[in-house]
Structure 1
Amino acid sequence: MFRIRTAVAAAAVATIAALAVAAPASAHDELVSSTPAADAQLTAAPAELSLTFSNNLLSLDENSGTAITVVDATGEDWVDGEPVIQADSVTVPLAEGMPNGAYAVTWQVVSSDGHPTSGEYSFSLAAAEASASPSATPSETAGEQPEPAKTTQPEQQPDSMQWPLLIGLGVVVLAAIVIVIVIAARRKR
């Protein structure tokens, strides 16, 4: 009976230790706001896209792993330059002439913990006039600003959110197998 208790206690300690190790791995920085915001319905084409995260982002060089796309229904990417990282924000310029319709934003950044994190969201554009006309004066576009940034929870890619859960589940299953083997061995004696 003493060995069974010891095995159960050891399995419990192993499970708690594995979950404690897995918990920090799930603490990647999260997107806290975006401009344009997720599901925003804009009346004027935005000049840039800005994402703000829960912590400062890593940016070691131009190839830091940061990537943003803003793709319309035809598959055209409207990003018009390299992402600029400043502390907890990343901004990318958008090309002029964005047509009305839905846009899918995908992003990947390197979290403060050094791990890449990514997500996606969408917004739509329904400008009164086609935004392709460059003759709009600043006073005309000043009244048609995009909606202010709001807190969004973009869809996380399954890889970044599922690993800690899968690791914890694997440890629990392994502990259960060990317990069953110990009990079976005990009964054979």
Structure 2
Amino acid sequence: MIRFSLLALLLAMPGASAHTAVTSVTPAANTTVAAPGAVRISFSEPVNLRFSTFKVYPLKATGTTLTQAAKRLAPVALAARDDASVRADTAPILTGRAARVTLPLKPNLPAGPYLIVWRVLSEDGHPVTGHHHFHVK
């Protein structure tokens, strides 16, 4: 009887909440687009922007594929400080909570690849990081 009650209690408990997921990014990964005015990232739930990082960089890849370069540079980009002058975004200060983030980009981006990186804190307290790249024609 005690085993049955414990099992019933465990089955009735709600599951742990899932990590926040990125549901879309514009420009989409691996696409070639005219110079966009902004990057947009949508999440499966609102994130606390105070504890989030979003950046866009020109991606210089030599002797490697862009995917490998993006993967290697993403952690470095997230950790960088005082990097506004080398970024493609305008380094906006974001506050509040939002399920969609818009990063304005500097005007007249030169042609080439760009790296988008993000780190957010999920509702359950776990950090979620990601990245991808796009091309400006």
**TM-score above 0.5, yes or no:** yes
Distance 1:106 1:80 in 2: 14
Partner of 2:51: 65
TM-score, normalised via structure 1 length: 0.47
**Partner residue of 1:79 out of 86, 89, 93:** 89
Structure 1's unaligned 5+ residue stretches are 1-16, 18-22, 127-189
The CA deviation string for residues 123-179 of structure 1, in whole angstroms up to 9 with x for no partner, is 0011xxxxxxxxxxxxxxxxxxxxxxxxxxxxxxxxxxxxxxxxxxxxxxxxxxxxx
Report deviation, 1:50.
0.9
**Partner residue of 1:49 out of 39, 43, 68:** 39
**Partner residue of 2:16 out of 10, 24, 33:** 24
Distance 1:78 1:91 in 2: 13
Partner of 1:39: 30
Report deviation, 1:81.
3.0
Bigger helix fraction: 1
**1:100 maps to 2:111:** yes
- Percent identity of the aligned residues? 30
- The structure-2 alpha-carbon separation of the partners of 1:39 and 1:45, relative to structure 1 and needing over 3 Å to count, comes to same
The CA deviation string for residues 63-97 of structure 1, in whole angstroms up to 9 with x for no partner, is x2211121113593111032546531112111112
**1:110 maps to 2:96:** no
Letter in 1 for 2:110: P
Which structure carries more relative contact order (alpha carbon 8 Å, separation 6+)?
A: 2
Alignment of 1:96-175 (within 5 A): 96-126=107-137
Structure 2's unaligned 5+ residue stretches are 1-9, 62-85
Indicate conservation of the 8 Å contact 1:58/1:114, yes or no.
no
Distance 1:81 1:73 in 2: 17
The CA deviation string for residues 23-82 of structure 1, in whole angstroms up to 9 with x for no partner, is 837x2111010111111210x2111111001111124xxxx2211121113593111032
Distance 2:25 2:59 in 1: 21
Indicate conservation of the 8 Å contact 2:59/2:113, yes or no.
yes
Indicate conservation of the 8 Å contact 1:68/1:83, yes or no.
no
